[in-house]
Amino acid sequence: MNRFLQIVCSAVFTTIAIGILSLSGCAHTMLATGWSNDTGISEIFDTTERISHAAGLSTLSMADDLPNDTERRVGQLRIHSDFPLAGQHRLIRELDNMRATISQELDLPVSDEPIHLYLFENPADYQAFVQRHFPRFPGRRACFIETDTTLAIFAPWQERIAEDLRHETTHGYLHAVVPGIPLWLDEGLAEFFEVPQPADGFHRGHADHLTGRLLEGTWQPRIERLEELEDAAAMSQDHYAEAWCWAHWLLRTTPQRRQVIEGYLHDLRRDPVTVPLSARLRELEGPPSVTTQAVRHHLESL
Ligand SMILES: [Zn+2]
């Protein structure tokens, strides 16, 4: 057994032993090759084999393993589950409402592009599905996958499902209108919107984590480090927390900073190759050391 297989297998047994709740948050990937269309799950996954060669996915057919007992259409969402799930479930309404919230918060248009949510009642079934079809994914509680034509989320129905689906659905809404959004900002905004609405984007866990790191003297905000990230699997808790912190600072401090992030997202919609946010902030705020200080102060004030 090679090392990769060992890791995967031990992850399976660990998961069964200590439960899926111990797995960390989001797994997120983009597949470069196109699925032929997005009119239905069977058609989407008929092309699994073609994708697999480019993306390292399994060559097994996915359609048989997908939850398909019920399907609900709610706004942009197409919710497929292997258990009865009322269309008016409070969480489903909340996820639907997030489309307008995100659009208003970031001054982005809304899209009608379907976002497919595949919900597994049994966490072990979800784990088996991910192991079978996305063997190179890190073990995470939920996955978001984007191809040229499809936005899809996979998640088990467990204790933290609300937080996980708010996070992954944010990816879906963002990618429907800003497909070229950089990884760090995508994750920072998903962390911002994953908290329940009354928290207004404030993520207590991340704030406490970063405050602790500041006190230890082991961390400083630096946006350029985030901008270098290209692989979601390489993102640590520090990265997720810092990405959230920058998003919160941009959206919850001054109108000028809000305009910078809105302008950046607008430009990304037209062309993913545009002036990075760090350069835009240098124009607005001055040298990086000034911005770092401002973000530190913001964190300390929370
Ligand atoms: Zn994510």
- Which pair of tokens denotes residue 284? 């607005």
pLDDT at 50 over 60: no
pLDDT digits (tens, 9 = 90+) for 227-259: 999 887 788 899 999 999 999 999 999 999 999
* Phi, psi angle pair for 83, to nearest 5°: -150, 160
Distance separating alpha carbons of residues 210 and 222, to the nearest angstrom: 13
Average pLDDT, the chain: 81
Share of the chain above pLDDT 70, in %: 77
Q: What is the mean pLDDT of residues 283-294?
A: 95
Q: How far is the CA of 143 from the centre of ligand 1 (A)?
A: 8
pLDDT at residue 134, rounded to an integer: 77
Distance separating alpha carbons of residues 151 and 249, to the nearest angstrom: 28
- Which pair of tokens denotes residue 98? 């997030």
Q: How far is the CA of 27 from the centre of ligand 1 (A)?
A: 6
Sign of CA dihedral 27, 33, 39, 42: negative
Tokens 């390292």 correspond to 56
DSSP letter (8 states) at residue 195: S
Show Cβ contacts of residue 12 under 8 Å, excluding neighbours closer than 6 positions. 127, 131
Q: How far is the CA of 140 from the centre of ligand 1 (A)?
A: 10
Q: How far is the CA of 196 from the centre of ligand 1 (A)?
A: 16
Among the listed residues 230, 291, 38, 289, the one whose alpha carbon sits nearest the alpha carbon of residue 152: 38
∠ at Cα 24 (277, 168), nearest 5°?
A: 55
Q: How far is the CA of 1 from the centre of ligand 1 (A)?
A: 31
Q: How far is the CA of 293 from the centre of ligand 1 (A)?
A: 27
Distance separating alpha carbons of residues 261 and 166, to the nearest angstrom: 21
Q: How far is the CA of 19 from the centre of ligand 1 (A)?
A: 21
- Whether the CB-CB separation of 199 and 152 falls below 8 Å is answered with no
Sign of CA dihedral 100, 31, 126, 74: positive
pLDDT at 26 over 90: no
Q: How far is the CA of 200 from the centre of ligand 1 (A)?
A: 18
Q: How far is the CA of 171 from the centre of ligand 1 (A)?
A: 7
Q: pTM for this structure?
A: 0.83
pLDDT digits (tens, 9 = 90+) for 106-121: 999 999 999 999 999 9
Q: How far is the CA of 221 from the centre of ligand 1 (A)?
A: 20
Q: How far is the CA of 32 from the centre of ligand 1 (A)?
A: 18
Burial 123-151 (b: 16+ CB within 10 A, else e): beebbebbbebbeebbbbbbbbbbbeebb
Measured between alpha carbons, how far is residue 43 from residues 2, 61, 168 in Å?
Answer: 35, 11, 23
CB neighbour class for 90 (10 Å; exposed up to 12, middle 13-18, buried from 19): exposed
Distance separating alpha carbons of residues 275 and 40, to the nearest angstrom: 37
230 or 12, greater pLDDT: 230
- Whether the CB-CB separation of 282 and 182 falls below 8 Å is answered with no
Residue 39 banded pLDDT, cuts 50, 70, 90: very low
Q: How far is the CA of 102 from the centre of ligand 1 (A)?
A: 15
Domains belonging to the chain, first-starting first, are: 3-177 (3.40.30.160), 198-301 (no CATH)
